[in-house]
Amino acid sequence: MKRNTLIFAIAFVALTFSAQAQTLVGYRSPNPGTGNIGYKMAIEPQFDYIALDFSEGMACVRFKMNEFHTYIDTTGKPVFDKKYVNVGPFSNGYAAVEVEPGSANYSFIDHKGKPLTDQTYRMPHDFSEGYAVIKVDVSGGGHYRYNYMDSEGKLVGEPRFLAANNFSEGHAAVQGSNKNWMVLNKRFVASASNLPYEEINEFHEGLARVRIGERYGFIDTLGNLKIPMTDDYCDYSFSEGLCLIKRAGRFGYMDMTGKVVIPCRFTYAEAFSCSRAVVSESAPDESGMITERGVIDHNGKFVIEEKKFDFIETFSEDYAIVSKDGKKGFINVNGKVVIPMIYENARPFHEGYAAVRVDRKWGFLKLDRTGEKPF
């Protein structure tokens, strides 16, 4: 099941590094893997904390750590007067926000801050493909069941599921009262039923992971077992035609037939993103962390060797955060530094914006995606 993306207030630990605020200018060629990029500090550093990166044109921040969260637009201006303790990202036009601090009850607001309905729900999922999974106390005594709500705020029947996934690729797996699973299409008709698994995850690239005990396999939307159950650990989903697996303590990747195509030789590995995966063949350091990481392509070949950077994070929108000597910047898919490592901290690009921290304050860089001219 997709992890709920609601963000809770957490303690912010300020780093002691500092960097001089700059408006940096570069160029971008049409090929993100080869050229430089145009970028600038689109929103000057002024926030104590970034809760949510940009989604549907809005991010969520704290101007001061002792304040609640504020949604801002791409100019850095607050979108609503109201502030919230706990917030979710905008998806399908709505975001879940906690109604009263500490209540764990949420409502959905639209881009103007208007509630979708007068009802509140405990820890709802984000909207996905026009529906949100909600949790309802059907007896008033903590007897919860799951259901779906559409973008008009209407419930689809009565809350009756023990568990329910977000819709993905037009289908969602739900667990009935008999604890067996079924797969629903968006007309809420079962395309598969009486599936005797302990867990079914969301569909990605036509397949969903299933689990019985510590064994994993993958089914299609008709419930057919397309990749047989195995003792190898499998990641939650396929990404770019490959799935991360773990065998005998090492990580590798299998294709959509279940064949291991990148041998299990890594001590650390992530799912593919932007045709790249962050991996390591090194042993953990004294703290147990594996910080020496490189990057491979779909053939398992290193395109960025380990130890080139102190740390590499997952690629997002063709760029990855890297660090050297305590400062962070961004590389492209070929490992070229395209935004210098001068920042105290950084977050991945979302919708062309990346949060960076300068002198203990967060701002946002913006990419030039035209490839025609610098800022």
Burial class (CB in 10 A: 0-12, 13-18, 19+), 179: exposed
Longest CA–CA separation in the chain, Å: 61
- For the chain, give the percent of residues with pLDDT over 90: 80
Q: Are 118 and 125 in contact (CB under 8 A)?
A: no
Burial class (CB in 10 A: 0-12, 13-18, 19+), 324: middle
Give 209's strand partners. 218
Helix (H) or strand (E) holding 212: strand 207-212
pLDDT in tens, 177-221: 899 999 999 999 999 999 999 999 999 999 999 999 999 999 999
End-to-end CA distance of the chain: 42
Residue 151 binned pLDDT confidence (cut-offs 50, 70, 90): very high
Say what the pTM is: 0.87
What lies within 8 Å, CB to CB, of 255 at 6+ separation is 241, 242, 243, 261
pLDDT in tens, 225-278: 999 999 999 999 999 999 999 999 999 999 999 999 999 999 999 999 999 999
Q: Are strands 49-55 and 38-47 parallel, antiparallel or unpaired?
A: unpaired
CA distances from 152 to 30, 132, 145, 185 (A): 40, 11, 21, 19
Q: What are 176's two structure tokens?
A: 């009935």
Which of the two residues, 78 and 30, has the higher pLDDT score? 78
pLDDT in tens, 307-344: 999 999 999 999 999 999 999 999 999 999 999 999 99
Cα–Cα distance measured from residue 6 to residue 8, given in angstroms and rounded to the nearest whole number: 7
